[in-house]
Amino acid sequence: MKTQQLWYYITFSSLAVVLLISAYFLHLERDFVSDHRTFKGYIVNDEELSGFFECGGKIGVSFTDAGKTGIYKEYSARKVKLREPIYVEVVGRITDDGGSGWGMAGEPWDQNLEIFELHRVERLLPVACGARPPIELETTYEG
């Protein structure tokens, strides 16, 4: 009887440890995914301008391909003219480390969009999007 009780103890203890470790990793995964959301807007990635412009937004942000989605290749395959906006729907998160904006040596954006998933890429900008076109963006320089 004591051997059987020992095996029960070992089995239930092992199960409890596995459940605790699983719960911990599930908690970490939930925190990682909770700051990701879907962004709709358009990207421009030329020599003159590089940025993401969210629908309904007034300013742009830089963007990086953190999830290796191939967004730069998708943009290059669809653009025809300089500074052409391409509509995208992506999953990502905003960080406070903005990259270059107007020209690679130009004023950097304040924030950066890290893109992890690419859901939709279209050449036509939907009229209902409400994002500001690149030609209407205002830039201010200190000095």
pTM over 0.85: no
Q: What is the pLDDT along the chain (143 residues), one digit of tens a residue?
A: 688 888 988 998 999 999 888 888 777 665 555 678 899 998 988 877 888 988 887 778 889 999 899 999 999 998 888 878 889 999 999 988 887 776 655 667 889 999 999 999 988 766 667 666 555 554 444 44
* Radius of gyration of the CA atoms of the chain, in A: 23
Residues 6+ apart with CB under 8 A from 36: 91, 92, 93, 116
C-alpha 31: how far from its chain's center? 15
Nearest to 61 by CA among 133, 110, 107, 131: 110
Fold that domain 37-136 belongs to in CATH: OB fold (Dihydrolipoamide Acetyltransferase, E2P) (2.40.50)
CA distances from residue 10 to 13, 21, 56, 108 in whole angstroms, order as listed:
5, 17, 58, 58
Boundaries of every domain in the chain: 1-34, 37-136
